[in-house]
Structures are given as structure tokens and as C-alpha cells.
Structure 1
């Protein structure tokens, strides 16, 4: 899956977050009086009706189209007998989370929601490219010349808290032992403002990562998942790191990724947008939505 296609997944997940808001917030609210006051600014009241109308005007059309597109892809895949293996989804999910790993993205959806979005994207690619013929030799050559793209490096997802002194780092460890959450402490105490805003999350550390110079890699190799380190000397003082997950190094074989390569090369040849909209007519999509939200 290309960088552009990964970005499409991210955008889709953001839109689905808004869907969640509308399902779990707007639907229950429909049981209440539309004129109920949800906030006040001085003597000016904001009603539930105004709030929900604003949500729908901003996001309603995009969310509806996203839901329609997903359902169209599911039905079209079924009509064309397109099935996606769990192994294909797992592989794409692993690459996706290693690429987009911070809480600002990966924490916004559950693992199952990520996988469902990935499955839908693969289904669409398979539908669009199923009739494209590419010689086996071309597929094999692409694999051999791009082998690194199908390799997973040894990776460690970590968070850290940076303090000015060892005493402060020791205090962090004491609070962790007493039950404080690592991400909360990172937001409160870490000198690294960028990662502190994400609960200290640095994503996945590998041999090529910049944090290698900070001795993090040597430390996490000896750690168990879901544990924190003792204070480590870093450029800005001391750091306490937390290991969320270890991902073992792995090289996918040609047979593992043959279909993926076929989709990639076929889409390049076709030079067409990767969207389910071209199947809307054959899926008999009927629109009840109006721009005014009624």
C-alpha cells in the first residue's frame, strides 16, 4: 500500500470518528427537546437544535458519502466474489501502525476499526484491478527490486518522560509505582513538549531512528512490554521510557505480497481514482439527504 493510500485510510478514519460522534451523541440527543439549552454565553443561549444543525452542515454530507461508499464496496465485493484474507489485513495493519503510530492517529480508532477500514480499501483495489493481467515475471522483478518495502524491522513502540534532574526522574518512577498513568505524567511533567502533548508517545523506535543516540534502543532491547525503565541520561537531562510493544523483524515472501504487488502495478497502469463512487449506480444508491439537512 502506497503512502497516498495510507493517507486515504487516515482521512477515512477521521471521518468515521465523526460518524461515531453522530451515532452515539446525536442519536440519543434526538430524544430530547430540540430547543433544550446546551450552553450559554452571558445572556445568549445555544440550543441543541443549533448545535446539531451546525454539526450536520459541516460534516453531514461527507460522513454520509463515506458510509455509502463503504457499503457500496462491501456489496460490490460480494457480487464479484472478492474475498480478502485475514493475513492480508494483518500485514497491512502492521505496516500502517508502524507508519502512523502516535496517539494523535492510532489512538483515535480501535484495532478492529482500523482493520475494517483496511479490509474495505483492499476490497476496492481488488475489485478495480481484478481483470488486469500482469506477467508473473514482472511481479517477481518488482518484488526483488523493492524487497525492503516488504520488510518489517525490529521495532519498539515507546513513550518517554524527560526531566531536568535525576531526582525528578526518580519521582516520576515513584508515582508510576503508586499507580499513576504514564501518559498523564508525561503531559504534566515531560520537558519534551512535542511528545508530552501525545502522552509521551514517540511511536516506533528502530535502528534507523533518531533516538538511537539517546541510548533508548539499548535500553528497550532489555525491557519487557508494558514496563518502564530506570532514569536514562539524555541530552536534556534524564528520561524514563515506557515500552508498549515489541515488533519482531520479518521479511515477507513473494507469495505473501504477490496480490499486493499486482494491485499496486495495476492501479499505476490504470491511472484512475481509487474510489467506490464508480459503482454507486450499479449498487442502486438512492439519496434522501438534502443540503439543508431536512
Structure 2
């Protein structure tokens, strides 16, 4: 019996640890899709001209109407789905008297930043993230509200997994990767002369993925295995808004790093995370996953893609 119980605890721990990673993937999708909304809605609708030229190639014109129609065909359904689901969850919160506090959202953000996958959180708007977390928490609270979890089980999980709730200080980091120390010194010199870090990253960084995001690699923290150890060590001594000297990386290349923001590590007490654990253990008992779409009928949701 003990081995079975230990196996169950291990499986539960694994699921709870991977929850922030799933949130990260959702955040990245929403962040990218919301660019569509920004493009789709003009600053001044009174001056909108769908035949306005937005590009031309060898004399062939691409109009705003064509551009927007193409974006809608690719992203429109997903963006609208996200907007509808968010409103459905707000309706559910009113119906079931569900409250989501800033402290609960802060906890979820801290857990996301502390995961080794925090580097996946690149180029996102924190307000978008907070709204996404709020919507997810409403869904989870609605699903968990009638499931009873004994306090002893919650406390046992906390005692066995305190490391999950002791988060390391995390650093929102941007990096310019180059081949040689001489190139890194040139980058530092240009930064000292007033050049934009984001601009230099797009122009000079050897890493195409982060270069396209102005050097942003997301959150870096102690023990982060997806980032070079020398870089992890270096960011811990860089002041917010400042950049490093050339950093020698393990593969022989070099980097210049900038810290955009710092989030101090936290130790969450049992009282801090009791509701969080209760909710996660309760959802783990559900026979299958449930999405926001399950509540559409209840709140009379409809959209243009309905068949």
C-alpha cells in the first residue's frame, strides 16, 4: 500500500509542478494572438480606409483590407474564442460568487517565474498574463467548489513539497549573443554610446529566436537548466536596467546581458498556498479536463463561427 501511495503522491506532484508550464504555453498563445487585435482595430475609426496601401512588391499593392482579411483567416477564430471565454468566465464568477484576488494572481505568477520553463515567457504584456490567469482561476474555482478535500491531505502535500513554494529570485533578461569577445566589446561600447539594447539584439544577436524579440529570453533564476550557467550567474549581479560586460559562455561564444526587472524570491507558507493546493487536488479528481467552452450554453454564449 505504501508504494502505491508514494506513486500517487509522485504523480500528483508531477502534475502540480507542470501546471505553470501549461499556463506559460497559454500565455504565449494569447500574447501572440492579441497582436492581431492591436493590428485589426485602427487608432481612429473615422479615418479608416480599407483600400489604404500597406505594402507593395514590384508594383503590386497589398491593401489594408487584404492584410486584415488574411490575419482574420489565420488568427480571427482563436482571438475571438479567447475573448468569448474570458467573458463567459466573468459571467460564471458573478453567477457563483467567485472571487479572485490580486494575491492569488501574484502567487500564480511567482510559481510561473520560478519554473525552469520561465525562459519560455518571452515578449508578453503582464496585464494580458494577469487577465489570463484570472480567467483560469475562475474556471478552476467553479470546478473545485463542490469537491471536498480534507485539510490533512492538503497539509500533507504541502509538507512533502515545500520546495515547490520556495521560489528563487527571478530576473527578466535580455541577451545579445555573439561569436567572439571582440564582438561583445563592440556591443558594450555601442550601448555605452546610447544605442538601444533591443535594436542591437535584433541587428547583432546570433540567436534568431531571441533576436526577433529584442533579445528577450524571459525569466532566469538560480537552477535554470535551459540557460548557460555563466549567464545565470552574471544576471544576478546586474542592476535593473543595466547591462553586463562580455560574458564567456560554455560553448566558447559570448553574450551581453541586460536585466529588465527583478522579482525577489519568496517562501510561501501553508496559509498562503492552502487554497491553491486544495484547488489543484480537487481538479485532479475530475474524470476529465473541462474548458471554458463547457459553460457556453449556461451563459448563452454565441459567436459567428457557430455552425
TM-score interval, normalised by the smaller of the two chains: 0.7 to 0.9
Residues 1:261 and 1:6: Cα distance change in structure 2 (over 3 Å): farther
Is residue 2:177 matched to residue 1:159?
Answer: no
List aligned pairs for 1:96-107, cutoff 5 A. 96-99=112-115, 101=118, 105-107=121-123
* Deviation (angstroms), 1:165: 4.8
Task: Identify if the C-alpha distance between structure 1 residues 9 and 266 changes in structure 2 by more than 3 Å, giving closer, same or farther.
Answer: farther
Q: Distance in 2 between matches of 1:127 and 1:181?
A: 46
Paired residues for 1:115-130 under 5 Å? 115-130=130-145
Please tell me whether the aligned partners of residues 125 and 274 of structure 1 are also in contact (alpha carbons under 8 angstroms): no
Matches within 5 A, 1:202-241: 202-210=217-225, 213-214=229-230, 216-235=231-250, 236=252, 238-241=254-257
User: In structure 2, what is the Cα distance between the partners aligned to 1:201 and 1:53?
Assistant: 30
TM-score normalised to structure 1 length:
0.81
Q: What CA deviation, in whole Å up to 9, does each residue of 1:215-243 have, x standing for no partner?
A: x4554443322112233444525443322
Which range is displaced more, 78-87 or 43-52? 43-52
Structure-1 residue corresponding to 2:79: 63
2-side partners of 1:92 and 1:263: how far apart? 13
SS in 2 for 1:228: coil
C-alpha deviation, 1:199, in angstroms:
3.2
Q: Match for residue 13 of structure 1?
A: 31
For 1:29 and 1:51, the matched residues in 2 are separated by 19
Runs of at least 5 residues in structure 2 that lack an aligned partner in the other structure:
1-15
Instruction: State the Cα distance separating 1:131 from its structure 2 match.
Output: 1.0
2:107 to 50, 69, 91: 91
Indicate yes or no: 2:48 matched with 1:31: yes
Between 7-16 and 114-123, report the one with greater CA deviation: 7-16
**Residues 196-228 of structure 1: per-residue CA shift (max 9 Å, x gap):** 4443334433332355643x4554443322112
1:188 matches 2:206: no
Structure 2 Cα separation of the partners of residues 59 and 29 of structure 1: 25
Residue in 1 that maps onto 2:126: 111
Structure 1 window deviating more from structure 2 (122-131 vs 274-283): it is 274-283
* TM-score normalised by L of structure 2: 0.78
Shift of 1:48: 4.0
Distance 1:67-1:234 versus aligned 2 partners, 3 A rule: closer
Q: CA 1:80–1:243 in 2, change beyond 3 Å: closer, same or farther?
A: same
d(CA) in 2 for partners of 1:222 and 1:5? 29
What is the rounded CA distance, in whole Å, between the counterparts of 1:11 and 1:188 in structure 2? 26
| Cα offset, 1:88, TM superposition | 0.6
Residue in structure 1 matched with residue 186 of structure 2 by the alignment: 171
The secondary structure found in structure 2 opposite 1:107 is: coil
The offset of 1:70, in angstroms, is 0.9
Query: Structure 1 residues 166, 87: closer, same or farther in 2, change over 3 A?
Result: same
Residue matched to 1:4: 22
1:177: Cα distance to partner? 1.6
* Compared CA separation, residues 30 and 124, structure 1 to 2 (3 A): farther
Is 1:263 aligned with 2:284? no
What RMSD, in angstroms, separates the aligned Cα atoms of the two structures?
Answer: 3.1
Post-superposition offset of 1:38: 4.4
- Residue 122 (structure 1) shift: 0.5
